Amino acid sequence: MRFAILIALCLLVSVRGHPYYRDYIPNGYAVFNPCGANFWEAVGHYDPLHHTVLKNPFGVALSNNGHVWNEALCRLDSDGDGKTNGEELGDPNCTFTPGSTPSQASSGHPGICEPIGSGACADLAFRCGCHGHACIG
């Protein structure tokens, strides 16, 4: 029985997200949600509220960059919608450092191509409400 409880606790810890990563990016606690009125909490994931295993393109880029916001990550267009991560997160000049205030509010999501289903995003399989499971191609 103790072993089963230990395994359950380990699994719980392993699937929890890392909300403190939002401290490392501009407007991390106020990222635009293209699917609704609330902010996108799990910025690096396809599900806005849950830190699922499936990362969106920004989550992959942030992870590959050592979870560091710098000019290279800022200038990247992770989601392919024609706006840089910095533009979407309110740091168009790439000057944000953790603990500072970004120069602007977030205006887009760096890991979700928007407007969803139109223009550059038309060929992507992401749909709001699918939470990153069967709706991603």
67-74: which pairs have CB atoms within 8 A and are 24 or more residues apart? Answer: 67/21, 67/24, 68/24, 69/24, 69/25, 69/26, 69/96, 69/97, 69/98, 70/94
pLDDT over 90 (residue 96): yes
- Higher pLDDT: 128 or 33? It is 33
**Mapping DSSP to helix (H, G, I), strand (E, B) and coil, where does residue 55 land?**
strand
Task: Round to whole Å and give the CA distance between 87 and 77.
Answer: 9
pLDDT digits (tens, 9 = 90+) for 44-92: 988 887 766 789 999 999 999 999 999 999 999 999 999 999 999 999 9
Per-residue confidence (pLDDT) for residue 50, from 0 to 100: 73
Per-residue confidence (pLDDT) for residue 54, from 0 to 100: 83
Task: Round to whole Å and give the CA distance between 106 and 89.
Answer: 4
Model-wide pTM > 0.85: no
